[in-house]
Amino acid sequence: MLRREDSIREAGSAWLSLAKMLEMTFQRREGFYSELAKLTEAGFGIREALRLMVESGLQEAESNRVERMESALAEGRSIAGAFAAAEVSKLEAVLIEAGERSGKIATAYRHLAEYFGMLAAARRKALQALVYPLVLLHLGMLLAAIPVGDLMEGLDFTRVVVRLGISLALAYGGIGLGYLWVRSALAKAPTDAGVDRALNRIPWVGKARRSLAMARYARVDHAAVLAGLPMEETVRLAGEASLSGELTAAVERIVPAVKEGMAIGPLMVGEPAFPKSFSRSYLTAEESGTLDQDLDRWAKHFANEASERVDRLTVMLPKLGYALIVAFVVWKILGFYSGYFGLIEELGG
């Protein structure tokens, strides 16, 4: 019994270590932008801030990024150009360019630090929630590898090992194919409205994705408004940075009217990709001249909403896994007793 509990704890510890390693990409980005924001707010220029960050000790990924940025700055490129040389994501590039143009670059760094911090926390919670379902899944496959006849007549360990190996191969093969499918779908979603719409219909997952997309949209829209960018450029950049095919397609439909000078709010109201409450608020904010304040409020709202929905997702998925595994174990136990009583009847007859 103690050995089994030790094995479960070791498996859980190994999975948590993997979770921590996978989380580091978002966590490092959060730390990177937090430090930049702090130094910028203290009055340090970008080159001096980068030098201090290097002196404080950076991991390889950050060091490579800083080297490319320093080279670009030495060539006379802007801060946004330096980040572009470091091959940052679309969201990072747009927010930093808007922050530089508006003179509020520290605010852009803060937005990015908060965003990546939220993603790091969400990933950590999701991976932690999978620890015990995965342990139970492997125990369930072990039970499936033991035939009922072996339990009554004596275990054939060779047979059990072979059956367990086949079960594990099939399970991991299925997980691998599922992972590749998900990666492919997620890669298409930012530009394919159909794929994005399909992913958004997945229970629990879809709502979290929508909130994250709207958080990105509102953040970039807010930064672009502060920078004084033309409204056509503002809405297009926000759509691209949302990483949502649905939102991008909606933006493409309203851009021609925006070019002609129409207000964005009334156009948004007619697009189902945008939440109705957000569209109505955008419309009234345009009329009242409080668009920058409203967008800042909505960006925080969607970020909090996304975090809450990820929390619900990390609660519901393990419960679903537990239910399936428990049902399998019950079925296995019933199968054992059915075979056991059948054997007794044969002996008695």
Q: Mind listing the pLDDT tens digit for each residue in 208-227?
A: 899 999 999 998 898 888 88
For residues 74 and 210, state if they share a domain: no
Alpha carbon 330 to its chain centroid, in Å, reads 34
Q: What are phi and psi of 36, to 5 degrees?
A: -60, -45
Q: Is the domain of 155 the same as that of 223?
A: no
Q: Give start and end residues of each alpha helix (H) in the chain.
A: 2-41, 46-56, 60-74, 79-85, 90-102, 105-129, 131-144, 148-153, 157-188, 193-200, 205-227, 231-241, 245-259, 264-269, 276-288, 291-348
pLDDT one digit per residue (tens) for the chain, 349 residues: 434 444 444 444 443 443 443 334 788 888 889 999 999 999 999 999 988 888 877 777 778 888 889 999 999 999 999 998 888 888 888 889 888 888 889 988 998 998 888 888 877 877 777 777 777 777 777 766 666 555 555 556 777 778 778 878 887 888 789 888 888 888 899 889 999 999 999 887 888 899 999 999 998 898 888 888 888 989 998 998 898 999 999 999 999 999 998 999 999 999 999 999 999 999 999 999 999 899 989 988 998 898 888 778 777 776 776 777 777 767 766 765 665 565 566 655 5
The structural domain count of the chain equals: 3
> Is residue 190 one of the residues assigned to a domain?
no
| 269 lies in the same domain as 224 | yes
What pLDDT sits at residue 54? 83
Range of the domain at 333: 122-185+310-348
Q: Is residue 319 part of a domain?
A: yes
Check residue 21 and give its pLDDT.
Answer: 38
Among 88, 103, 134, the domain boundary falls at: 88
The pLDDT assigned to 150 comes to: 53
| In a domain? residue 16 | no
In a domain, 196, yes or no: no
DSSP state of 57: -
* pLDDT reported for residue 338: 66
CA gap 296, 292 in Å, rounded: 6
Residues 157, 77 share a domain? no
Domain shared by 161 and 208, yes or no: no
Domain-embedded: residue 11: no
Look at residue 8 and tell me if it is in a domain. no
Give just the sign of the alpha carbon dihedral 313, 318, 324, 330.
negative
146 and 64 belong to one structural domain: no
CATH number, domain of 244, equals 1.20.81.30
Spatial distance between the Cα atoms of 267 and 252, rounded to a whole number of angstroms: 11
My answer on whether 259 and 341 are in the same domain is: no
Shared-domain flag, residues 170 and 315: yes
